Amino acid sequence: MARMTVDKNYCKGCGLCITACPKHIIRFSENINDKGYHYAECFDQDSCIACKMCYTICPDAAITIEK
Amino acid sequence: MKVIASRPKALTDAQFTYCPGCLHGVAHRLIAEAIDELGIQNNTMGVAPVGCSVFAYKFFDIDMAEAAHGRAPAVATGMKRARPDMNVFTYQGDGDLAAIGTAEIIHAANRGENISVFFVNNAIYGMTGGQMAPTSLPDMKTTTSPYGRKTSDVGYPIQVCELLSSLIAPYYIERVSLLSPTDIIKAKKAVLKAMKFNTEKRGFTFVEFVSTCPTNWGINPVDSLKWAKDNMIPFFKPGVYRDKSVEEAK
Amino acid sequence: MSEKILMKGNEAVAEAAIRAGCRLYFAYPITPQSELIEYMAKTLPKVNGTFLQAESEVAAINMVYGAAGTGKRVMTSSSSPGISLKMEGISYIAGANLPAVIINVQRGGPGLGDIQPAQGDYFQATKGGGHGDYRLIVIAPSSVQEFADSASLAFDLADKYLNPVMILSDGLLGQMMEPVEFKPRVSDEEIEKHSEMHYDWCMRPNEDGPNHHHHEINSLEIDPEVLETHVNKLAEKYKKIEENEIRYEAYNINENNEMVCCAFGTAARIVKSAIDTLNSEGHNIGLIRPITVWPFPTQAIADSIHDKVKNVMTFELNLGQMVEDVKLAVNGKVPVGFYGKVGGVVFTPEEIIEKIKENLGGK
């Protein structure tokens, strides 16, 4: 059991987590946050392995990992 | 389920003002994690530079001083000499540290000041809009080297770790990169080591981060990682340039 | 302690600073104040203070900024060209509302100049050598005793107003020896108190909530309206200083003065000698000697122009700097003349007597 959550208020839609994720389960949301960024979101939490690669590369400390 | 990774306590709630994909935020987080892990948030003060990270004092939840351009190591020296029981670090970019601040960094390192200096190198001046830095690569086009950096005219990039390792006093000097999660994990170890040595009053510690500037390089964040790997790493080789703890262990 | 010690000005002010509780000093050697830094190097370690010779005057003023940000009494010293190097740092210290003491032992300028005494840094000190709207409190001593006394005054004013304070001395005062009576050294408890008064803003050990603080030492406000508020607050501070901290000496000022002279620092000593001679010959000449050149004793000068005063003569070791402030104070009531010497050359009482005689009657 694992979960990655993106705080959409911090996310700037840079896309680094999307590339870093080895399971390819992160995408840009169709929605935008208050700053106008398409923030990142995990679309397949069941496949998350809590590897923390997304957390590690996120430049906005927007991600929380639970296990 | 429990939280195994989240925004460090030593960061404030403020959103970073850095460009999307700028790795300053990663460097900030690593330092904040180290402060949390060492439990030193209440006994640490920092110095912010002039550059993109001029607002660093808004992002770290510790007492911080804004320094004049390049003067952070001198400001940190004054702070540390005034309150020797507190841990002091500076956070600087390439213009701040390797251009206007060269005297200050060399002399703080040479005195073996008990401070940690975190140097973010992205081979360009970000805040002022993409001018050439002392660390800009040969032939690199910037707004003040529009025809490319001509080494016959303005020389080569300064390799700060190599420069500082010519001094006797510095205790720990390492260059790391932030160009992939694996690199960042290695970088974290270096940051933690530097801060730990700092708390143990071992002397001057220095970590240089090879980083990116997607906006001024004109490359998107994901591709900028590759550009840095291909173009910066050959000049700025990651590695340990000084670690007195190794000799001391023998 | 009421014993008098014969001491060189540079050393006397250093000793006085230590007695006033200064335990942090960062500086770079430059003639004619190297005795100051050498005295600090020898004496500060004896009182568990920190002496550090910085790599430049630029580095030194930034070390002062850092230490001042932690709420401690800290000082630097230099001479004219070195003070120019410190201008950026001084502007930052002023902009960040920090207490600090900077001593300028002036020498001939501009540029590298020479190493002889001069007063060419008046503009730099009082009109802001650094950028932006700020003011330095500037104390201009005229004797070794006053030079020494200015140390504790400077620290007290710096702490009171959270502002940098400059002691504007010169190579003559720095090098000459006169008897000095020192105040007793402040105790460690008093030094703690000096620091504690700054606990609501300075960088210092922190606590977890609810007493967790986040103190920023900073002069940057990127939002213009916020910067406007900040600078207007500085203006209120400067207004208070102008209302409360003017210091000057009125020497033989009376209703029968035929001429009023203005001079500060070393120049004032020489002018006093000249005035004494002339007054013993039957003249009645007075002197207003500003002790703070900022805030300037504008009203005192204006008030000294009694009915019989025909003109004012200003004497400085420069091309004419303070005379502009004197003219503003006199405000056209009588003519204001000027005589100066530059290049590090100091005038003699005889020269002053001659100049005064030439200008008597408002010629």
ipTM: 0.97
What count of residues does chain C have?
Answer: 363
Report the residue of chain B nearest A55, measured CA to CA: B5
**Closest Cβ–Cβ partner in B42, B65, B106 for C66:** B65
> How many Cα atoms within 13 Å fall on the side-chain side of residue C95?
21
Report the residue of chain B nearest A50, measured CA to CA: B4
Cβ-Cβ contacts under 8 Å for C212 (sequence gap 6 or more): B42, C206
Question: Is CATH 3.40.50.920 the classification given to domain C249-359?
Answer: yes
**Average pLDDT, stretch C330-356?**
97
Report the residue of chain B nearest A11, measured CA to CA: B20
Res C3: pLDDT: 86
Cβ contact (<8 Å) for B67 and C69?
no
Encoded tokens for B18: 């850095």
- Report the DSSP pairing between strands C137-139 and C292-294: antiparallel
What count of residues does chain A have?
Answer: 67
Q: How far apart are CA A42 and CA A29, in angstroms?
A: 9
- Coil, helix or strand for B72? helix
Res B224: pLDDT: 97
Q: For an interface test with C, give the residue of B45, B88, B127 to mutate (most C CBs within 10 A).
A: B45
CA dihedral B81→B85→B87→B93, nearest 10 degrees, is -10
Q: Which residue has the tokens 């008093």?
A: C190
Cβ contact (<8 Å) for A14 and B221?
yes
Residue type, B209: F
Q: How far is B238 from chain A (nearest CA, A)?
A: 18
Residue C48 buriedness (CB in 10 A; 0-12 / 13-18 / 19+)? exposed
- Report the DSSP pairing between strands C311-316 and C164-170: unpaired
- Coil, helix or strand for B117? strand
All residues of chain B having their beta carbon less than 8 Å from the beta carbon of residue C55 are 103-104, 106-107
Report the residue of chain B nearest C22, measured CA to CA: B82
Residue C361 buriedness (CB in 10 A; 0-12 / 13-18 / 19+)? exposed
pLDDT, mean over chain C: 97
Q: How far is B20 from chain C (nearest CA, A)?
A: 21
**Closest Cβ–Cβ partner in B57, B64, B74 for C63:** B74
pLDDT of C2 over the 70 cut: no
**Average pLDDT, stretch B64-92?**
98
pLDDT of C206 over the 80 cut: yes
Residue spans per domain, chain B? 24-249
Q: For chains B and C, what is the number of CB pairs under 8 angstroms?
A: 127
CB of C62 closer than 8 Å to CB of C68: no
All residues of chain A having their beta carbon less than 8 Å from the beta carbon of residue B181 are 20, 52-53, 56-57
User: Which chains are adjacent to chain C, needing at least 3 Cβ pairs under 8 Å?
Assistant: B
**Average pLDDT, stretch B182-194?**
98
What's the angle, vertex CA C132, arms to CA C152 and CA C90, rounded to 5?
Answer: 35
Would you tell me which CATH number, out of the four given (3.10.20.30, 3.40.50.970, 3.40.50.300, 3.40.50.150), belongs to the domain B24-249?
A: 3.40.50.970
Q: Percent of chain C scored above 70 by pLDDT? A: 99
CA-to-CA separations, C8 to B244, C35, C176, C181, in angstroms, rounded: 46, 9, 5, 13
Cβ contact (<8 Å) for B71 and C205?
no
> How many Cα atoms within 13 Å fall on the side-chain side of residue C34?
5
Report the residue of chain B nearest A16, measured CA to CA: B222
pLDDT, mean over chain A: 97
User: Which DSSP string corresponds to B187-209?
Assistant: HHHHHHHHHHHHHTT---EEEEE
Q: How far is A65 from chain B (nearest CA, A)?
A: 5
User: Which chains are adjacent to chain B, needing at least 3 Cβ pairs under 8 Å?
Assistant: A, C
Q: How far is B72 from chain C (nearest CA, A)?
A: 8
pLDDT of C76 over the 60 cut: yes
- Report the DSSP pairing between strands C50-53 and C24-27: parallel
Q: For chains A and B, what is the number of CB pairs under 8 angstroms?
A: 84
Cβ contact (<8 Å) for C203 and B85?
no
Q: Which residue has the tokens 């932030």?
A: B178
Encoded tokens for B55: 């607002």
Q: How far is CA A21 from the centre of its chain?
A: 9
Encoded tokens for C86: 């410190």
Can you give the three-state secondary structure of chain C, one letter per residue? CCCEEEEEHHHHHHHHHHHCCCCEEEECCCCCCHHHHHHHHHHHHHHCCEEEECCCHHHHHHHHHHHHCCCCCEEEEECHHHHHHCHHHHHHHHHCCCCEEEEEEECCCCCCCCCCCCCCCHHHHHCCCCCCCCCCEEECCCCHHHHHHHHHHHHHHHHHHCCEEEEEEEHHHHHCEEEEECCCCCCHHHHHHHHHCCCCCCCCCCCCCCCCCCCEECCCCCCHHHHHHHHHHHHHHHHHHHHHCCCEEEECCCCCCCEEEECCHHHHHHHHHHHHHHHHCCCCEEEEEECEEECCCHHHHHHHCCCCCCEEEEEECCCCCHHHHHHHHHCCCCCEEEEECCCCCCCCHHHHHHHHHHHCCCC
In Å, the largest CA–CA distance within chain B is: 60
**Closest Cβ–Cβ partner in B65, B74, B81 for C203:** B65
Res C128: pLDDT: 83
pLDDT of C1 over the 60 cut: no
Report the residue of chain B nearest C74, measured CA to CA: B82
**Average pLDDT, stretch C71-88?**
98
C191-205, C212-226, C349-363: segment of lowest average pLDDT: C349-363
Cβ contact (<8 Å) for B43 and C206?
yes
CB of B233 closer than 8 Å to CB of B123: no
Report the residue of chain C nearest B83, measured CA to CA: C70
Residue type, B156: Y
Q: Percent of chain C scored above 90 by pLDDT? A: 98
Backbone phi and psi for residue C182, each to the nearest 5 degrees, phi listed first: -95, 150
Res C209: pLDDT: 87
User: Which DSSP string corresponds to B122-173?
Assistant: -SSBTTTTSB--TTPPTT--BTTBTT---HHHH-----HHHHHTTSSS--EE
Per-residue model confidence as pLDDT tens digits over C266-277: 999 999 999 999
Res C363: pLDDT: 59
pLDDT of B82 over the 80 cut: yes
The Cβ of residue B169 has, within 10 Å, a number of other Cβ atoms equal to 15
All residues of chain B having their beta carbon less than 8 Å from the beta carbon of residue C66 are 47, 65, 67, 74-80, 82
CATH of the domain at A28: 3.30.70.20
CA-to-CA separations, C304 to C258, C263, C275, in angstroms, rounded: 11, 14, 16
Cβ contact (<8 Å) for C214 and B12?
yes
Per-residue model confidence as pLDDT tens digits over B103-136: 999 999 999 999 999 999 999 999 999 999 999 9
Q: Percent of chain B scored above 70 by pLDDT? A: 100
Per-residue model confidence as pLDDT tens digits over B98-111: 999 999 999 999 99
Residue B112 buriedness (CB in 10 A; 0-12 / 13-18 / 19+)? middle
pLDDT, mean over chain B: 97
**Closest Cβ–Cβ partner in B3, B22, B23 for A64:** B3
Residue B245 buriedness (CB in 10 A; 0-12 / 13-18 / 19+)? middle
Q: Which residue has the tokens 């200003």?
A: C314
C1-15, C19-33, C55-69, C342-356: segment of lowest average pLDDT: C1-15
Q: Does B227 touch chain A (CB under 8 A)?
A: no
Domains C4-196 and C249-359 fall in the same CATH topology = yes
- Coil, helix or strand for B227? helix
CB of B156 closer than 8 Å to CB of B138: yes
Q: How far apart are CA A20 and CA C111, in angstroms?
A: 58
Residue spans per domain, chain C? 4-196, 249-359
pLDDT of A4 over the 80 cut: yes
Residue A45: domain span: 3-66
Q: For an interface test with B, give the residue of C48, C76, C203, C212 to mutate (most B CBs within 10 A).
A: C203
- The architecture (CATH level 2) of C4-196 comes to 3-Layer(aba) Sandwich (3.40)
The number of distinct structural domains making up chain A is 1
Q: How far apart are CA B168 and CA B78, in angstroms?
A: 22
- Coil, helix or strand for B41? helix
Per-residue model confidence as pLDDT tens digits over C114-161: 999 999 999 999 998 899 999 999 999 999 999 999 999 999 999 999
Encoded tokens for C294: 């900022």
